Amino acid sequence: MIRKWTTANIPDQIGRTVIITGANSGLGYQTALALAHKQAHIIMACRNEEKGRAARHTIMQQHPKASVTVMPLDLADLASISKFAEAFLAQYDRLDLLINNAGIMIPPHRHTIDGFELQFGTNHLGHFALTGHLLERLLEQPNSRIVTISSIVAHIGWMRFDDLMSKRRYNRWLAYGQSKIANILFALELQRRLTAAKATTLSVAAHPGGSNTNLQYTGVGLDNSLFQKLLLLLFNPFLQNANRGALPQLYAATAAGVQGGDYYGPNGLLEIRGYPAKASFPWAAKSQDAARRLWQESEKLTGVTYDALFQQAESSFGSRN
């Protein structure tokens, strides 16, 4: 593993099709910019199409020969996720890389269109549903990857299966931590199921460390309280910028030697800053029982199931051996 891995180490992405959620700003934008430079075809999956088009314009100014498309996607709306997937599957016959990047952070207690707590519903359930809808294309493409983005805040999170939607008590930080633990549990359980199906698709997780992006300032419904602004200003000097924060997910998405079930983050003190390296798993992410239960609950809540695709993949890969 290269100790100081940067975007210069990303191999050519010619011919590869990539979906990045939340690609219009922050980590998602930096990821799209880096992969567009390496000649991947980028689908910027954005809730706000206008901001998505503006971000695309900026990328095209820097890389006029880049191939970048904006498609609408609201991860807080299961109907929008289904519509996005249908449109993508109708237009594209391959998908090499799905980066589950989009997220919201510490808003007041709000709900998605489908009635889920906003952070759990968007950060985890939205990506669970999206991945399930797109898995068909990913399985068809040898050595495709699914990269799901968590956070160092996952270290304070755990799964509250008796109150997933925080109906009894809502704490914005604990709800955020739960959604980020869910991201890791999902990535790991997905890899176990891919391995069981003998698929070559890899499921990998990453976190950006402490990164100064607009996630902290412009989350959906964020109230921008004085305390919250002061807290962010206090920690701001310790944060790295978005292009550095995007390196772990870019490494997980493109580097040679990445294995399914790996987890990447910055290599500095407390994994806040630095270059990509293997990250430490939060204690709550190590339970396979929790991962299986989360998977079952996620299928019930979203109505999206993976079993038929895994069975088809197992049959297909088994017939090739």
Domain hosting residue 304, numbered range: 8-313
Determine the Cα–Cα distance for residues 266 and 17; give it in Å rounded to an integer: 26
Does residue 3 sit within a domain?
no
Whether 306 is catalytic:
no
Choose the catalytic residue: 29, 92, 170, 176.
Answer: 176
Per the structure, the count of domains in the chain is: 1
Does residue 1 sit within a domain?
no
> Can you give the pTM of this predicted structure?
0.93
Buried-exposed string 212-250: b where 16+ CB fall within 10 A, e elsewhere: bbebbeebbebeeeeeeeeeeeeeeeebbebbbbbbbbb
Residue-wise pLDDT for 30-40, tens only, equals 999 999 999 99
Cβ pair 32, 42 in contact under 8 A: yes
Does residue 133 sit within a domain?
yes
Would you say residue 100 has pLDDT above 50?
Answer: yes
Residue-wise pLDDT for 194-252, tens only, equals 999 999 999 999 999 986 665 544 444 444 555 555 555 555 556 787 899 999 999 99
Does residue 78 sit within a domain?
yes
Does residue 298 sit within a domain?
yes
Does residue 321 sit within a domain?
no
Does residue 319 sit within a domain?
no
Cβ pair 202, 145 in contact under 8 A: yes
We report the CATH number of the domain holding residue 97 as 3.40.50.720
- Which one has a higher pLDDT value, 321 or 93? 93
